[in-house]
């Protein structure tokens, strides 16, 4: 099963690959960035994760939400409408 994950407050200088590597390190899942917002007070990325089992996206959100990375506290959300 695939799922989407929104990560906000991403440092604008962080590359997509750095964020993918971070998700792999802390969640042990492959992901790819499908959408990015670099302006505003909380730049973010929408990621598509693969190989999930039911309910696992919520565990990933809990693991990443509030994680301090590159001098910022990340905010992780599961989109209400993942399509």
Residue 82 belongs to a domain: no
Alpha carbon 37 to its chain's center: 13
Residue 23 belongs to a domain: yes
Q: Is the pLDDT of residue 83 over 60?
A: no
| 47 in Cβ contact with 14 (< 8 Å) | no
Domain count of the fold of the chain: 1
Work out the pLDDT band at 82, boundaries 50, 70, 90: low
Average pLDDT, the chain: 91
The pLDDT > 90 percentage for the chain reads 67
For residues 8-37, average pLDDT: 92
DSSP structure class, residue 65: T
Q: Could you list the residue range(s) of the whole structural domain that residue 8 is in?
A: 3-77
Residue 37 belongs to a domain: yes
């Amino acid at each position: 099963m695939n799922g989407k994950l929104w990560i906000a407050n991403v440092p604008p200088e962080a590359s997509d690959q750095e964020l993918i590597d971070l998700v792999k390190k802390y969640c042990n899942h492959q992901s790819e960035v499908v959408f990015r917002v670099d302006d505003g007070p909380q730049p973010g990325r929408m990621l598509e994760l693969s190989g999930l089992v039911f309910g696992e996206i919520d565990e990933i959100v809990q693991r990443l939400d509030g994680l301090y990375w590159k001098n910022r506290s990340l905010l992780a959300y599961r989109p209400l409408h993942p399509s």
